[in-house]
Amino acid sequence: MILVDGEPATVIDARDRGLAYGDGVFRTLKCLAGAPLWWRDQFDTLRRDCAALALPVPDGDALRDEVGRVAAGADCVVKILVTRGSGARGYAPPAGTPSTRVVMASALPPMAQSGAPADVMARLCSLRLAAQPRLAGVKHLNRLENVLARAEWNDPACYEGLLCDASGQLVGGTQSNLFWLEGNTLCTPPLDDCGIAGVTRTRLLRRAGRLGLASRFERRLPAAILAADEVLIGNSLIGIRRLARIDDAALSDAGWRTRLDELVHEESD
């Protein structure tokens, strides 16, 4: 089911600025029995991303209600898009045009279902992410880099592709954030030039101290994380998964995965 501005629909205006320019943001939520996980963090992040583009923020209660309507009691993925609405041709944002809000449900992918493997394989992508501080961290609708990177492999055994910036330092995965452990330090790349600052990353960094972990933002070449105690990826659909391999390199397992996955799933803040 799809709701466009709260009404059942399968289409949007062909003049929507989301289509014309990617002028909008989105969220991907996991729902279990129709209830969205981590709603407060998801909505806070949507609000942050709307602010980055000076987009009006949808009403939180109405949006939460729409998520429930499209989820319809099922285990599913709900995607929320907020665009700057329909407008005349031209980059200048029209004054006073209401935004467009699309809320749609789809099936949980295999990796988001219970019983999916705890460990996954990744590869290093050749595409380098461009540095754009004005858009870094934001889950906006300009995602051609992700599309091009994801098109680099077909092997279904490879779950994720890791992306570097122009200097060759790791940023994250095509659809996940990246973490690694060195002793009692949880490291993750800073996202002030590129990448998406996902909700799973926010929750993990906010809570890592509960497990006695320090957090650190680190720029690293891919070769430099192969010796980490454990390398992990995370997003809202899969929680935290361990990388067993990056291309031909096998990675260590220090046993943190399950504890960190439970940590991001805790209800309390």
Where along the sequence are the contacts to a second copy (CB under 8 A)? Answer: 2, 4, 9-23, 26, 28, 53-54, 77, 79, 81, 83-84, 88-93, 102, 104, 106, 109, 127, 130-132, 134-135, 140-151, 166, 174-175, 194
β partners of residue 80: 27, 103
Compute the least distance from the CB of residue 117 to a second copy, in Å: 18
Gyration radius of the chain's alpha carbons: 19
Compute the least distance from the CB of residue 211 to a second copy, in Å: 31
Please give the helix or strand (H or E) that residue 150 lies within, else none. helix 144-150
Give the separation between CA 231 and CA 118, rounded to whole angstroms: 12
Mark 156-181 as b/e (b = at least 16 C-beta within 10 Å). eebbbbbbbbeeebbbbbbbbbbbbb
DSSP 16-62: BHHHHH--EEEEEEEEETTEETTHHHHHHHHHHHHHHTTPPPPPHHH
Compute the least distance from the CB of residue 168 to a second copy, in Å: 14
Compute the least distance from the CB of residue 79 to a second copy, in Å: 6
Closest among 155, 108, 147 to 129, alpha carbons compared: 147
Give the separation between CA 94 and CA 88, rounded to whole angstroms: 8
| Complex with a second copy: residue 194 or 251, whichever CB lies closer | 194
| Complex with a second copy: residue 45 or 235, whichever CB lies closer | 235
* Contact status, residue 128 vs residue 166, Cβ threshold 8 Å: yes
| Complex with a second copy: residue 80 or 170, whichever CB lies closer | 80
Compute the least distance from the CB of residue 99 to a second copy, in Å: 14
| Complex with a second copy: residue 169 or 215, whichever CB lies closer | 169
Give the separation between CA 13 and CA 53, rounded to whole angstroms: 21
| Complex with a second copy: residue 48 or 150, whichever CB lies closer | 150
3-class secondary structure, 109: coil
Give the separation between CA 101 and CA 131, rounded to whole angstroms: 28
| Complex with a second copy: residue 193 or 230, whichever CB lies closer | 193
| Complex with a second copy: residue 42 or 174, whichever CB lies closer | 174
Compute the least distance from the CB of residue 139 to a second copy, in Å: 11
Compute the least distance from the CB of residue 208 to a second copy, in Å: 28
